[in-house]
Structure 1
Amino acid sequence: MSSTKKRTHQHLIDQDGQFLFREKLPKPWVVREYRPDYGLDYSVEVFKTTEAGPSGRSTHETLGEHFFVQLKSIEDPDIRPLTIYGRGNVEKGSERLKRDDPVATVDTYRFPLEVSLLATVERMGIGIPVLLVIADLKNQRCCFVCLNDYVDKVLVPRHEDYTDAGHRTVHVLASNEIGSAKGLVALRWYAKRAKLLAAFQRFTYQYSELQWAEDADWKELAQYFGKRIASYDFWDDTEMCEPIRYNGAGLKRFLQDGRPHYFKPNQEAFAKLSLEQQEYMLKADVFELWRLLALLPKTYEDVWREWFLPTALGHVASEL
């Protein structure tokens, strides 16, 4: 009798890795499989759980937040220490490691990825993160790294042309564990990326338009702008990023009483100012709110996109 189709040992490893990955995610989150697979195995939709109501049952509400996953299942992982060194801002120049400035030694998974996959992720842009997830069957854990950020912040500044090889080794921090408190924060942060980038675009637009507003119009325009952005649902759901929450509180104060109260002058001294001087200080206070909002995308690119990466800045910022 002729032989039949066979199920390989790797198929069993992949199956176990899929089960482990789904098990580590919060139960209310939805995992959707991508078929056919051209580098994306799953999309994950994030849900927010609210406390039990009169029925005694919790409810789970979608946040409209998503990320993609490329899953790699490993039976016997290669975990080794990696020394990370200080370096400059790679958005302003190629990587120059400060070999005399070791920042930390961390454990990482070493995984070779096809450059075709990395180039596909780069071509997607950064709007929706693609996470490489290592399903470590030996240690029963899943660890991740954001490939969009790894390409931009590690491979591109490190190599003259990272695509001139068939594969590139990607380091995945063992501390980036799905199911841990740190891992949950990271996944929630990545899932918010699309809505944050859209909001950042609006902040910079509004700040620019306020600069051009005539003196008689800026108050009305600022009120309108404030109402447009007050409805974003991330103001009170980004405890991992204090500057966003800080400016959300300033926005709330502005809409309540016309001032964000970043500048707090002595009331007695303020009363002695002329009306023109008081108006100037009020305008400066309001404009400071939009200046800070417009700074968020810069900080996002310079700092926050390195969170959870095996880089010096990523290590320091992610451990705070």
Structure 2
Amino acid sequence: MATPKRRSFNQIKEEISFRVLRQKLPEAWVMHEYGPDYGIDCVVELFDYVDDAKEIAETLGESFHVQLKSSDSLQYTKRRARPRGNVAKGALSEDMSEFIDIEVVNFQLDVSDLLTVQLLGPAVPVLLILVDISTERAFFVCLNDYLEKIIIPEDPRFYEKGSKLVQIPLQNEILPRNTYLTPLRAYGKRAKMYGAFARFAYQRKEIERARGNAAFNVETSAESDIDMLRVFAESALRQDIWRGHDFWEPMRWSYSELKDVEATLTGDVDSKELEAFKEYCDLHVWRRLCNISNMYEELVREWFLPTVLAQLASYPEQGQLQKAEV
């Protein structure tokens, strides 16, 4: 006897999770759903309105990938985080004398999903977005960063397991207000940041070469040096990374310095001052630009994770270190 078509609870949960996420994101953003699911459920493309009437939105050329999960029986608990050394430079080393208890929601994620994220690399942000079906709350964490900053330092042979526990801070709730969307906008800009970092490193090396300080140097003229610096400044300023970083002071500092370099090069640079100007560009302006890359790796990629550094940097008004009992 034939039976009517049926829907599984998993299918219903999936539809609810997509609906909840869609409601919490800006109406101008576009969700491109993937199917069948091979580790990525959708890509969110960022758009902004270009008119006051909010009738026309244009793409920002920015996006992030999403692993969308849902449950009606999530476990809410606390994760005890302790100060630790920089895991990008060495093995995990924790200071057991202090701690912060961070409210989190737990989720067991298949290791196969984590391996997919690892293959994509750090420049392609994959967010685990977890929807609580019972309350329709949604929480995010960047899996690229969680993998490298938490899972691998704590469990280097994680790939031998079937699943891993992922703990998402409750502060990482997605709400339809600009303040709460700032992290998502920053993840959308990540690919552009990595592209800019590579360009800045190349430019600084060429400025070093023009100063005669590289491993291999070529003789250049004052005119070609000035022309090169002009091209470098214009190229650096064209990178679409400067807007949308009001929350990160180093970006504003470097943008202002590049504008000063550009302004200087619009006039005549005295040949007697050229060497000093090249030194300023090398050791100050482009050195800072390259240091943004270092800070991004050490600091920014730890934002919004359940760690002490992330807590103090992302939510300083809530994160307070406590002394452990001796």
- TM-score normalised by L of structure 2: 0.87
Q: In 1, are the aligned partners of 2:192 and 2:240 still within 8 Å (CA)? A: no
Match of 2:167 among 162, 165, 171: 171
RMSD, aligned α-carbons: 2.0
Q: CA deviation at 1:194?
A: 0.5
Greater relative contact order, per chain length (Cα 8 Å cut-off, separation 6+):
2
2:45 counterpart of 1:49: no
Alignment correspondent of 1:20: 20
**What's the secondary structure of 2:17's corresponding residue?**
helix
2:226 counterpart of 1:231: no
Equivalent position amino acid for 2:95 in 1 = K
Match of 2:180 among 179, 183, 201: 183
Alignment coverage as a number of residue pairs? 301
Match of 1:309 among 305, 311, 324: 305
Q: In 1, are the aligned partners of 2:80 and 2:102 still within 8 Å (CA)? A: yes
The whole-number CA distance in structure 1 between the counterparts of 2:221 and 2:252 is 29
The whole-number CA distance in structure 2 between the counterparts of 1:219 and 1:21 is 50
Q: In 2, are the aligned partners of 1:69 and 1:133 still within 8 Å (CA)? A: yes
Equivalent position amino acid for 1:81 in 2 = K
Q: In 1, are the aligned partners of 2:69 and 2:129 still within 8 Å (CA)? A: yes
Alignment correspondent of 1:197: 194
Q: In 2, are the aligned partners of 1:110 and 1:171 still within 8 Å (CA)? A: yes
2:75 counterpart of 1:68: no
Q: In 1, are the aligned partners of 2:129 and 2:141 still within 8 Å (CA)? A: yes
Match of 1:252 among 259, 271, 280: 259
Equivalent position amino acid for 1:158 in 2 = E
Cα deviation, 1:32-79, whole Å, max 9, x if unaligned, reads: 101121010000000122341xxx444312110011001111112211
2:133 counterpart of 1:137: yes
Alignment correspondent of 2:217: none
Deviates more, 1:208-217 or 1:307-316: 208-217
Equivalent position amino acid for 1:211 in 2 = E
Alignment correspondent of 1:219: 226
Q: In 2, are the aligned partners of 1:75 and 1:136 still within 8 Å (CA)? A: yes
Cα deviation, 1:104-153, whole Å, max 9, x if unaligned, reads: 21211110111111011101111210100001122321100011111111
Alignment correspondent of 2:213: none
Cα deviation, 1:148-175, whole Å, max 9, x if unaligned, reads: 1111111111113111211100011111
Unaligned runs of 5+ in 1: 260-274
**What's the secondary structure of 1:134's corresponding residue?**
strand
Unaligned runs of 5+ in 2: 211-219, 317-326
2:290 counterpart of 1:284: no
Alignment correspondent of 1:150: 146
The whole-number CA distance in structure 2 between the counterparts of 1:43 and 1:294 is 30
Alignment correspondent of 1:122: 118
- TM-score normalised by L of structure 1: 0.88
- Go from structure 1 to structure 2 and tell me whether the alpha carbon gap of 1:19 and 1:57 turns closer, same or farther (over 3 Å shift): closer
2:100 counterpart of 1:93: no
Q: In 2, are the aligned partners of 1:77 and 1:138 still within 8 Å (CA)? A: no
Equivalent position amino acid for 1:152 in 2 = E
* Matched-pair identity in %: 35
Deviates more, 1:213-222 or 1:180-189: 213-222
